[in-house]
């Protein structure tokens, strides 16, 4: 099961309804996964990098390790806060992202890093997370979300989705499906020095796409190649600082529906999620064809 949803506002870099829209969309497909919920939100409100960590039972020790690692990497701490299962910092850092991200991963469980991206995920429903993290109040340009039915790992915050592209900033993925050539592709990336923090195939997709973007390819081309390179059944959404995209495998066993007008594009596993954005209104929706991909950017 599991359910995915994403929304991209075409006309404004900051839309006050981003958080509300994603909460409503994920609530609409929450029946597809009640174990945990997550949001990847893009807020263009500050300069620098935001890092979100999962804090364990010994939260004070985790926070101390994070601060020590930041100082060791030469990152200047600007803001910090504890909320729910997370410790969030905003820093000024001018160095290379990959070694910095890997170093911070060794200090604590890093959920996301980016100049716009913030991944908020935890055990519970979309409304549970809204009560803890204030999701509905978050404004931004676009975002993706996921409701999870646990099938391959424990029910805990760090196992929830979305996943960020480990070692890269501002790239996130939500995925419904299974990648059957996971280990083959992961070993190839590891041979080039990439690190992985989980055995989840969604993390692999994120790193695979972010690597192609880092090499200068467009998101559209990267998604086109993913349809051939990834074996299995999948429907996924990927988000970057500048936009959003989707890809479906050629068997098209995993559902995906889309609505687009002049103001926004919204994509989800089920039409009920799209209906939550326009209650009481009939929608002209489409289902992407097997083996297709598409992107939107500002």
At 127, which helix (H) or strand (E)? Answer: helix 126-133
Classify 97 in phi/psi space as left (phi over 0), alpha (psi -120 to 50) or beta.
Answer: alpha
At 257, which helix (H) or strand (E)? Answer: strand 257-260
Is residue 29 flagged as an active site residue? Answer: no
Which of 1, 2, 5, 282 is catalytic? The answer is 2
Which is it for strands 109-114 and 172-179: parallel, antiparallel or unpaired?
unpaired
| Rounded distance between C-alpha atoms, residue 298 and residue 293, angstroms | 18
At 293, which helix (H) or strand (E)? Answer: strand 293-297
Q: For residue 227, which of 165, 289, 171 has the smallest C-alpha distance?
A: 289
Q: How far is CA 135 from the centre of its chain?
A: 15
The pair of three-digit structure tokens given for residue 115, joined into one six-digit string: 């100049």
| Rounded distance between C-alpha atoms, residue 258 and residue 283, angstroms | 10
User: Which residues in 66-141 belong to E strands, given as ranges?
Assistant: 76-83, 86-92, 109-114, 117-123
The pair of three-digit structure tokens given for residue 145, joined into one six-digit string: 């979300």
Backbone dihedral angles phi then psi of residue 87, each to the nearest 5 degrees:
-125, 125
| Rounded distance between C-alpha atoms, residue 228 and residue 150, angstroms | 27
In this structure, the dihedral spanned by the alpha carbons of residues 262, 266, 272 and 273, taken in order and rounded to 10 degrees, is -130
Catalytic residues: 2
């Amino acid at each position: 099961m599991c359910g995915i949803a994403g929304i991209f506002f075409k006309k404004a870099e900051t839309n006050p309804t981003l958080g509300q829209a994603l909460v409503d969309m994920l609530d609409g497909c929450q029946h597809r996964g009640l174990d945990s919920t997550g949001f990847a939100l893009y807020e263009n409100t500050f300069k620098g990098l935001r890092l979100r960590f999962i804090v364990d039972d010994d939260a004070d020790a985790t926070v101390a390790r994070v601060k020590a690692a930041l100082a060791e990497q030469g990152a200047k701490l600007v803001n910090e806060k504890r909320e729910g299962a997370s410790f969030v910092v905003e820093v000024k850092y001018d160095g290379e992202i990959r070694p910095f991200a890997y170093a911070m991963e060794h200090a604590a469980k890093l959920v996301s890093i980016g100049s716009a991206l913030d991944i908020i995920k935890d055990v519970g429903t979309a409304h549970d997370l809204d009560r803890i993290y204030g999701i509905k109040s978050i404004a931004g340009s676009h975002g993706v979300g996921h409701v999870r039915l646990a099938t391959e790992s424990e029910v805990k915050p760090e196992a929830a989705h979305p996943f960020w592209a480990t070692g890269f900033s501002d790239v996130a993925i939500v995925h419904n499906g299974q990648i059957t050539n996971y280990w083959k592709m992961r070993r190839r990336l590891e041979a080039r020095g990439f690190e992985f923090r989980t055995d989840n195939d969604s993390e692999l997709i994120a790193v695979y796409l972010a690597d192609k973007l880092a090499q200068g390819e467009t998101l559209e081309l990267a998604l086109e190649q993913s349809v051939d390179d990834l074996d299995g059944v999948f429907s996924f959404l990927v988000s970057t600082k500048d936009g959003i995209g989707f890809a479906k495998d050629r068997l098209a066993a995993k559902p995906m529906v889309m609505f687009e007008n002049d103001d926004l594009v919204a994509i989800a596993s089920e039409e009920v999620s799209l209906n939550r954005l326009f209650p009481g209104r009939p929608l002209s929706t489409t289902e992407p064809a097997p083996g297709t991909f598409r992107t939107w950017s500002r």
